[in-house]
Amino acid sequence: MNHKLHIKYFGQIAEITGKSFEIISSDSISIEELVKNLTESYPSLRDQEFKVAVDHEIKSKSSQISHDAEIALLPPFAGG
């Protein structure tokens, strides 16, 4: 079954993709597979460090995305 994944890009990742968000259709997929697909579409992402959040929670690369989810690619940031 296809699901709509709402992907948000922030900071330097938005600069690389040229957009702040996009919606893609996908079957059940892991974060690792999603990142692989995105780096094929945006090769410069391979050189970037970022975390992946699913529905506002940072997840490991092995986590599955199996429903209509909001995904955020988050570059490193400094707090203070």
CATH of the domain at 34: 3.10.20.30
pLDDT category, 59, cuts 50, 70, 90?
Answer: very high
**Interior CA angle at 7 toward 4 and 12, to 5°?**
165
Q: Establish if 8 belongs to a structural domain.
A: yes
Please report the beta strands in the chain, taking only residues with DSSP state E, as ranges in sequence order. 3-9, 21-26, 29-30, 51-54, 57-58, 64-65, 70-74
Q: Establish if 79 belongs to a structural domain.
A: no
Q: Establish if 67 belongs to a structural domain.
A: yes
Q: Establish if 68 belongs to a structural domain.
A: yes
Check whether 78 has a pLDDT greater than 80: no
Q: Establish if 80 belongs to a structural domain.
A: no
Element (H, E) at 32: helix 31-41
Check whether 79 has a pLDDT greater than 90: no
Q: How many domains does the chain have?
A: 1
Average pLDDT of the chain, as a whole number? 90
Rounded Cα–Cα distance for residues 7 and 72 (Å): 6
Q: Establish if 13 belongs to a structural domain.
A: yes
Q: Establish if 42 belongs to a structural domain.
A: yes
Domain containing 9 equals: 3-74
Judge contact between 8 and 14, C-beta under 8 A.
no
Check whether 73 has a pLDDT greater than 80: yes
pLDDT category, 1, cuts 50, 70, 90?
Answer: low
